Amino acid sequence: MSLDEVTVKMAAAYVDTVIAPMERAPKTKQGYVTSLNRCWKWHRRRGHLETSSPWVDLGGDLKGPTKEKRPLTFPEIQKWLAREKGKKQVQHDLILLCTYTGMRQNEACSLLVSDVESGKKCWWLSIREGKNRSAVRDVPVTAKDCIEILKRRTKGRTSGQLFEELRPGGKDDKLNWRVGKALRYSLNKVMDGKAKDECVDFHSTRRTYASVLENGGLRKDGYDHHAIAQCGDPEVSEEFMPIVHLV
């Protein structure tokens, strides 16, 4: 099928069945429709299309999720960690490391051994790329249990993936594809099959981290949800991290 054959009715059906059900914010969904509209207009300006864009005005009624995702509570995280400990070490390590650092799942899965820098009280993780420019940053790690993970996973190694068990998968060939599915299944078990109803997912570990920052009084100093992992001062990090006791 050529672009000229796509009608407004077909475009609207795609918006209703594919874009609208997504667990995304309204602006994100509208952005998808806008991108499609721009694509059609680009082809029309260059003479590749005779018809007008069918995507005009189709994003205005898109709504977000009915319930806002929430942070995980400490008891929920402890229960999740207990379920994974000794069984799925990589899943246990990812849960703990992301909760204590605020890293996104794919950021943690993409870490290399060379991204880890050891220190006396504070270790550092270098995030080389992410969903936006601010995602590129150095992340301090002060929690002893997380430092033990880094010591164990870098011992005798100078290169390669930090989480060497992971293999790429999915259409984007991402390292978190398989383990992400396993973690969703695991969390749902911990939540008695009600993770969706309870509005929690793996990203809730990052929400927990943001909540602790806010409760610890750091958000007033500029550590908001979109900049939480820019906490590059180890003294600030050490002052904050003892608030969290998970293991």
Q: What is the pLDDT of residue 65?
A: 58
- Phi, psi at residue 49, to the nearest 5°? -130, 145
CA 153-230-245 angle, to 5 degrees, is 60
Per-residue three-class SS string for 105-152: HHHHHCCEHHHEECCCCCEEEEECCCCCHHHCEEEEECCHHHHHHHHH
What's the confidence (pLDDT) of residue 29?
85
- CB-count burial class (<10 Å; 0-12, 13-18, 19+) for 50: exposed
Asked whether the beta carbons of 55 and 33 are under 8 A apart, the reply is yes
> Chain centroid to CA 181: how far?
13
DSSP β-ladder status, 116-117 and 137-141: unpaired
Distances 4 to 10, 15, 32 between C-alpha atoms, Å: 12, 18, 19
Instruction: Give 180-199 pLDDT, tens digit per residue.
Output: 999 999 999 999 999 988 99
* Residue 71: predicted pLDDT: 92
| pLDDT at residue 223 in the model | 40
129, with CB counted inside 10 A (0-12, 13-18, 19+), is exposed
List the chain residues with pLDDT less than 50: 219-247
Distance CA 110, CA 139 (A): 14
pLDDT (0 to 100) of residue 64: 61
Predicted confidence at residue 232, as pLDDT, reads 40
**SS3 labels along 148-217:** HHHHHHHCCCCCCECCCCCCCECCCCECCHHHHHHHHHHHHHHCCCCCCCCCCCCCHHHHHHHHHHHHCC
**CA geometry: angle at 124 spanning 120 and 127, to 5°?**
175
pLDDT score recorded for residue 194: 93
| pLDDT for 19 | 87
